[in-house]
Amino acid sequence: PTSIDKVIRRAGKALEMRESYSDPRSIFGSSHRSTSQSEHERYILTEDRVRELDDNQQFLFVNNTKPIRAEKIRYYDEPFFKARTGDYFHGVPAKYEQRPGAADLPGPAQIDWLGVRAAEPAPAGLKGVVPPSAPAATDEGPQSAGDGGHGLHAPVSSLRWTGDDDDDGSLG
C-alpha cells in the first residue's frame, strides 16, 4: 500500500468543480430551489487505477509535466536492443543455484599494508606501538642491518604496546 500511495501522491492533485442542489419543501407548497458550486481537490490517480495497471504499462513522472502512462520497454524483447545486447548465454537461461556452504561470499580480506613498518621510529615521549628495540637514530636516520636503512627490522609479532603500564605488553 505504501508504494501505491507514493505513486498517487507523485501524480498530484487536480481541482474539480462540484454542484450541489437543495430543494427545500415548505408547508405551503412554494419551493425555492438553490444551486451552489464549490471547488474540491482530488488526486489525479486513484488506488484502483494504480492496482489495475497492466504488467506491460508504467507511469512516468517528469518534473513539471502530467504523469505519462507508457508501455514498458524490455531490452531482452525489443529487436532494437536485442541486437545490441547479444546472446550472452547462447539461448540457455542463466542459472544460479544457491546452496548452504556454496554461497557467493567474499574471500579473506587482502590487507596490502600488512608487514609495512614506519621509516623512522616515533619521536621520544610519544606513546603508542613501537618496536621492542628501536635502533639509535643518527644524522642519516635510523640504521638497521639488512633493510637498506629503513628501520624495517621488527616483525609484527614482536611489537608491544607502551600506552598502559598495567598492560601485559601484547597487542591483542
Residues 75-102: tens digit of each pLDDT: 878 888 877 777 666 777 666 666 666 6
| Amino acid, res. 44 | I
Q: What is the DSSP string of 59-71?
A: EE--TTS--EEEE
Please tell me the number of Cα atoms within 13 Å of 67 on its side-chain side.
18
Q: Which three cell numbers stand for residue 138?
A: 643518527
Q: Are 110 and 152 in contact (CB under 8 A)?
A: no
- 150 C-beta neighbours (distance < 10 Å), count: 14
- Joined together, the cell numbers standing for residue 40 give 474540491
Q: How far apart are CA 6 and CA 61, in angstroms?
A: 12
Q: Which of 83, 82, 14, 8 is nearest to 50 (CA)?
A: 8
Predicted TM-score of the model (pTM): 0.39
pLDDT averaged over every residue in the chain:
74
Cell of 35: 444551486
Cα(93)–Cα(91) distance, integer angstroms? 6
pLDDT tens digit sequence for 34-82: 888 899 999 988 899 899 999 999 999 988 888 899 999 888 788 888 7
Cell numbers for 151, please give them.
628501520
Check: CB of residue 22 under 8 Å from CB of residue 37.
no
